[in-house]
Each structure stands twice: as structure tokens, then as C-alpha cells.
Structure 1
Amino acid sequence: MDEIVRKAMAKWPQVPALYGWLGLDRRGRWLLQGKVVEREPLIDFIGRNYEHDELGRWFFQNGPQRAYIELAYTPWVLRANGQGDLETHTREPVTAINACWLDDNGSLLLEWKRGVGLLDDSDLSWAFERLTDARGEPMAEAALLAALDSLPNADADAVFLNYGGQRLTLAAVQSADVPALFGFQRKPQATANES
């Protein structure tokens, strides 16, 4: 968090929070009242001051005011950079992945040290290049698609994701279960004592 933000919070501790103004789309773009934020300094400022509270509500701390963020899906969106490594929509490097899932809509979810992130769908080719069978061998497209289709019913490890020296089993998850599973709120609301 920026030092100027910390000082503003200390100076004005009782500023009411905002709800419904800021969002994060499935591509990792900040939305201000539904419009994509395009100014790089503002994008960077939001990213540096992006956090969550104990209720799983993600927010941007804008000086003394907290602006809660409506999430299109997950609190993080991950992208492949030019070297094949992952980074978040806030440009934080992702050096290790703890687990990975394919949801019922075909979205790839990756858990890293700060929570769960959706892989930007423009980087799905990055994932396909890293998916292997149980022997660690690349899979032909037809075999991979068949394995992914049967993933929710698979009894054994069928598909793996290789990243940063790790080999992770690709599991299935229902998209509706993701917020509860990872402890976040997609559409934060004020609590009774905040109203």
C-alpha cells in the first residue's frame, strides 16, 4: 500500500466506503462505473492499493476511502508474459502455483500465494502447451479435449499442468462454488454496522 494512502487513512479514519463503483472484469481490467480504466498511472495506483478484508471483500484503498470491487469472477486475473511466466493483473509475478482447476465453463483457475486467479482466456494456448498426461507427455489435441471433457468424472489423475518445475493435477470445480471455496465475495455489500 502506498505511504500517502496510509497517511490519509490515519488522518481521516471514518470516511464511508463506496460500493458498486469499481469492478474487475474477466480480463483483469478495472472498471469505473462500467467503463474500462485506461490511464496507466491510475491502473498502477489501484493495483498497488488492492487488498481484501476479513469478510473476503476485495477493495481499492483510495486515500482514506475504501472502494469495494465487484468481481466478474475471481479476485485475481493471471496472464502469461512474453517469457512464458505468469503475472497478475496488478503486474505481480506468480512464481509458484499451489493447485489448478478447470471449471464447468472451461475456465482455468490457478491458486497462488495470494488466492485464486482466473487465467485470462487470451492465454489459454499458454496452458495447453503445459498440459500433459500422467506420464508427463504432451497430449494430442483430441486426447486432451477428451480428457478435459471427462475431468469431472475422472477417477484418477488424467491431466497435469506443468509450471515453474511443478506438476499439478488438474481438478474439476463448479464455477458457482468458487467464491465459497476460496473465501471471497463477488459483489461486496455493506454490513449492518457499516450502513
Structure 2
Amino acid sequence: MDAIVEAALKKWPNVPHCHGWLALDARGDWYMRDDRIQAAGPFPQVKGSRIDHDKLKAFIARNYQADADGCWHFQNGPQRVYVQLEATPWVWRVQWPDGDVDGTPSVTSHTGLAAQVQGCWLDAEGRLYLSTDLGLGLVHSQDMLDAARAIEQGLWTPQPLDAAEAPRRFGFVRDPRP
């Protein structure tokens, strides 16, 4: 967490939490959902405005974490901005080192954190999930060929997963409410 955020928490400890205003889609993109967007429909059917500002995305990424109940949030100064999740709290990018035929792929979160794969899961829709030292995440759709290579090489062995059961099984909340 940024030092400036920690200082704000000490200065203003009782700021109310924010719900419904920030969302993470299945491709790792952040969305702002103002009152008008929230009234237009639930996430992800109505996404809102995608955040494209690099410094804002980096600030969110550095201050993204879960509370004790598995509700993911962005600590914005003294305020927790809870995140609605389309799929999982993490979206994994999978990449093989250039020219590497015998190694292992790197797995990096949508926030830029490196992760170590501990398990592999496949749902009925063909979406691939990885459980890691950071938690459960969905493999980005653009990286499915690289993930398939890891499966074909026997590095990961997918087990069946009921996507609706993933939050309970892996301890996260898709739509935190006050």
C-alpha cells in the first residue's frame, strides 16, 4: 500500500466505504460505474467507463487488496472502494520466455504481480483458472494458447470447476455489498 494512503487512513479513520463504483472485468480492465451506469444495469451487463489513465491504473493496482471476508477493494486514501468482479479477483497473463522450449511460463496478474501456479481449473464454458500463491484468477483470453502449451507439456493439469462455486471455494466475493 502506498505510504500516502497509509497516512490518510491514520488522519481520517472513519470515512465510509464505497460500493458499486469500481469493477474488474474478465480481461483485467477496471471500470468506473457512476450512479447513472449503476441505475442502467448490473455489472458486467452494463460496464461503465473503462479506466485508461496509466497512472490511475497503477495507483489502483498498488492499493488493491482483500478484506478479511474476501471482498476485494482499492484503498483510495482513507476510503475503501469495493470492487465488483466479473469473474475472479485476479486476471492472469501467461507468457513463455522468448526461445524457451523447456522452461515454464511466467504468470503475472493484471496488477503486474508475479504469481506461482499451485493448481489449474477448467469450467464448463472452457475458461481456464489458475490458483496461485496470490489466489484464484482467470487466464486472460489472449493467453490461452500459452496456457494450453503448459497443459500439453504436463506443467498444469486442469481439474473441473463449477464457476458459480468458485467464490465460496476460493474465498472471494464477486459483488461486495454494505
- Compute the TM-score of the two structures, normalised by the length of structure 2: 0.85
Shift of 1:81: 4.2
Residue by residue, what CA displacement relative to the aligned partner does 1:123-148 show, whole Å, maximum 9, x if unpaired?
A: 1111121223xxx5xxxxxxxxxxxx
Structure 1 outlier segments of 4+, above 2 Å: 80-84
CA distance in 2, matches of 1:43, 1:82: 25
Shift of 1:35: 1.1
Equivalences for residues 164-179 of structure 1 within 5 A: 168-179=156-167
Indicate the percent of aligned positions where both proteins have the same amino acid.
41
- Partner of 2:26, secondary structure, is coil
CA distance in 1, matches of 2:23, 2:162: 22
CA distance in 2, matches of 1:131, 1:179: 24
Structure 2: stretches of 5+ with no match in the other structure: 34-47, 98-104
Give yes or no for the alignment of 1:188 onto 2:171.
Answer: no
C-alpha contact (below 8 Å) 2:151/2:157 kept by paired residues: no
CA distance in 2, matches of 1:127, 1:169: 11
Indicate the residue corresponding to 1:88 in structure 2. 109
Q: Which amino acid aligns with 1:69?
A: V
Query: RMSD between aligned alpha carbons?
Result: 1.2
Equivalent position to 1:110, from 118, 121, 130: 130
Count of aligned pairs: 157
- Compute the TM-score of the two structures, normalised by the length of structure 1: 0.78
Structure 1: stretches of 5+ with no match in the other structure: 137-159, 163-167, 191-195
CA distance in 1, matches of 2:125, 2:163: 7
CA distance in 2, matches of 1:81, 1:172: 23
